[in-house]
């Protein structure tokens, strides 16, 4: 397993390009199961998770070819409807093939995703949505089996105890585009990636309105055609570079930064002491030497994203005072807390909240990545720590950050990948 070796202390300076959004690209690729003809997707990030999705779709009868950031997908054979456990356990987003398979092939067999480093991640709301659209759904041998002679529009409530489900809303939306009649998703997830999926489906001939709001109305159509579509930029990658600029007291120009999707992040980072200025198509982020402590609470969009909680927590370790970070989406998403502690951070976890006592310095240490965003947080901590940090298991980072260490090195970070 590859490692990153980081020598902390460099102020990051220069410019960086934000890649396409992982969490938009994955469901949009899955949605291609429903399209007649070839779909061309642009701005697809080069990530391990995208490769996983391509492998899964090939097993489901598609040809998938890539040329740089352009991916072309064509359905060739509609016989296989089984997303097996081998693939699903490597990537939970595999669940996104359920809605499209059911809508187009009338049956889907998808391994039930298991446990995950960021906590309990049930898919009950996905299954309820499929049932509301008229599918028979049962669990056998660890797989969800869903089938329906035809799907019919329905009113479906997508809210749960921790907010609306993002991929659940996407699955319901994808199943509903080819259903008969009107589907209304109430309390739908409003994340920009959900809206991007809807915009892609509309470009293929679907009839979806209200995407990006809690009430999405889908009028079923008979078929979806091919199209060319450009994936939105990744707000989480952009946010990670903003935090890197603030943490290292640097100045980074972030190109293709989707600032309009990042208001909660901008609000918190400005409060902490970052300067964030729009400059033509880019955003320039720099920071004051003194970082202010703040309260951060993760919430569904447009609130502060859970996918940036670990990274902002790493930043707050160096603030001048006590901060409070509360996780309202995945209350157990705190595996990075113990690892940051190994680097000298003073953190106390109380249920879904971490009290961060700012310290003057972090110190390099060997640490272990546990999931994608926690790993990014450890890299950020390594960039500011005194001495050398070794981050193990960086395959987690390769799942969701394109050429992360190369981008950081081009900004002046002393980071290198050591191949196993």
Catalytic residue among 116, 190, 227, 317: 116
Instruction: Give the three-class secondary structure for 224.
Output: strand
Does 329 bind ligand EPU (CB under 6 A)? Our answer is: yes
Measured torsion, CA atoms of residues 287, 293, 297, 301, in degrees rounded to the nearest 10: -20
Binding residues for ligand EPU, rule CB under 6 A, total 25
Tell me how far apart the alpha carbons of residues 403 and 245 are, in angstroms, rounded to a whole number.
Answer: 17
Does 114 bind ligand EPU (CB under 6 A)? Our answer is: no
Does 165 bind ligand EPU (CB under 6 A)? Our answer is: yes
Rounded least distance, CB 27 to ligand EPU, Å: 7
Tell me how far apart the alpha carbons of residues 399 and 393 are, in angstroms, rounded to a whole number.
Answer: 11
Give residues 291-320 in contact with ligand EPU (rule: CB under 6 A): 306-307
Q: What is the DSSP string of 276-334?
A: EEEETTEEEEEE-SSPPP-EEEB-STTSB-GGGHHHHHHHHTTSSSEEEEE-SS-TT--
Identity of the residue, 165 or 287, whose beta carbon is nearer to ligand EPU in the bound complex? 165
Does 168 bind ligand EPU (CB under 6 A)? Our answer is: yes
Give residues 369-388 in contact with ligand EPU (rule: CB under 6 A): 372-373
Query: Which span sits near ligand EPU by CB under 6 A: 12-20, 40-48, 154-162, 176-184?
Result: 154-162
Does 330 bind ligand EPU (CB under 6 A)? Our answer is: yes
Asked if 145 and 179 touch (Cβ cutoff 8 Å), the reply is: no
One of 25, 47, 62, 93 touching ligand EPU (CB under 6 A): 93
Contacts of 353 (CB under 8 A, 6+ apart): 324, 325, 326, 327
Task: Scan for tokens 């390594």, then name that residue.
Answer: 382
Query: Which span sits near ligand EPU by CB under 6 A: 78-86, 118-126, 135-143, 406-414?
Result: 118-126
Contacts of 240 (CB under 8 A, 6+ apart): 308, 311, 376, 380, 401
Query: Which span sits near ligand EPU by CB under 6 A: 132-140, 155-163, 219-227, 272-280?
Result: 155-163
Closest CA to 334 of 314, 318, 320: 314
Does 124 bind ligand EPU (CB under 6 A)? Our answer is: yes
Torsion sign over Cα 41, 45, 46, 51: negative
Give residues 16-75 in contact with ligand EPU (rule: CB under 6 A): 23, 26
Does 327 bind ligand EPU (CB under 6 A)? Our answer is: no
Identity of the residue, 26 or 354, whose beta carbon is nearer to ligand EPU in the bound complex? 26
Query: Which span sits near ligand EPU by CB under 6 A: 6-14, 116-124, 220-228, 337-345?
Result: 116-124
The question of whether 116 is a catalytic residue gets the answer yes
Q: In what order do the strands lie in the sheet with 228-230?
A: 62-67, 70-75, 38-42, 228-230
Does 187 bind ligand EPU (CB under 6 A)? Our answer is: no
Distances in whole angstroms, Cα of residue 134 to Cα of each of 128, 158, 222, 408, 409: 10, 16, 17, 49, 52
Instruction: Give me the residues that bind ligand EPU (CB under 6 A), please.
Output: 23, 26, 93, 120-126, 160-163, 165-168, 306-307, 329-330, 372-373, 400
- Residues with active-site annotation: 116
């Amino acid at each position: 397993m590859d490692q990153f070796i980081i020598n902390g202390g460099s102020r990051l300076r220069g410019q960086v390009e934000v890649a396409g959004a992982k969490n938009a690209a994955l469901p949009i690729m899955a949605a291609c199961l429903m399209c007649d003809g070839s779909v061309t997707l642009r701005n697809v990030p080069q990530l391990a998770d995208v490769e996983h999705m391509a492998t899964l779709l090939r097993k489901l009868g598609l040809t998938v070819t890539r040329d740089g950031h352009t991916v072309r997908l064509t359905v060739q054979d509609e016989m296989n409807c089984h997303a097996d456990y081998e693939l699903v356990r490597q990537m939970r987003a595999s669940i996104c093939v359920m809605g499209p398979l059911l809508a187009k092939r009338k049956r889907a067999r998808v391994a039930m995703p298991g446990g995950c480093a960021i906590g309990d991640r049930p898919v009950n709301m996905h299954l309820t949505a499929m049932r509301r659209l008229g599918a028979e759904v049962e669990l056998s041998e660890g797989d969800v089996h869903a089938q329906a002679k035809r799907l019919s529009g329905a009113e479906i409530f997508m809210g749960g105890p921790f907010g609306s489900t993002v991929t659940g809303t996407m699955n319901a939306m994808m199943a509903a585009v080819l259903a008969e009649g009107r589907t209304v998703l109430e309390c739908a997830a409003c994340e920009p990636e959900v809206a991007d999926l809807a915009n892609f489906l509309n470009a293929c001939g679907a009839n979806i309105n209200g995407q990006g709001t809690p009430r999405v109305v889908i009028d079923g159509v008979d078929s979806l055609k091919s199209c060319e579509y450009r994936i939105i930029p990744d707000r989480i990658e952009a946010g990670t570079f903003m935090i890197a600029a603030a943490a290292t007291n640097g100045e980074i120009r972030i190109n293709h930064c989707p600032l309009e999707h990042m208001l909660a992040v901008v609000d918190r980072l400005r409060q902490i002491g970052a300067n964030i200025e729009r400059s033509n198509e880019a955003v320039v982020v720099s920071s004051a030497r003194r970082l202010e402590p703040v309260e951060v609470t993760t919430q569904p969009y447009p609130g502060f994203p859970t996918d940036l909680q670990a990274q902002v927590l790493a930043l707050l370790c160096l603030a001048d005072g006590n901060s409070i970070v509360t996780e309202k989406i995945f209350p157990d998403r705190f595996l990075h807390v113990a690892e940051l502690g190994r680097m000298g951070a003073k953190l106390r976890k109380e249920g879904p909240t971490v009290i961060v006592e700012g310290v003057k310095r972090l110190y390099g240490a060997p640490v272990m990545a546990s999931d994608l965003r926690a790993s990014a947080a450890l890299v950020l901590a390594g960039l500011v720590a005194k001495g050398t940090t070794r981050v193990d298991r960086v395959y987690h980072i390769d799942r969701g950050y394109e050429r992360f260490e190369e981008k950081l090195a081009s900004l002046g970070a002393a980071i290198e990948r050591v191949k196993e």
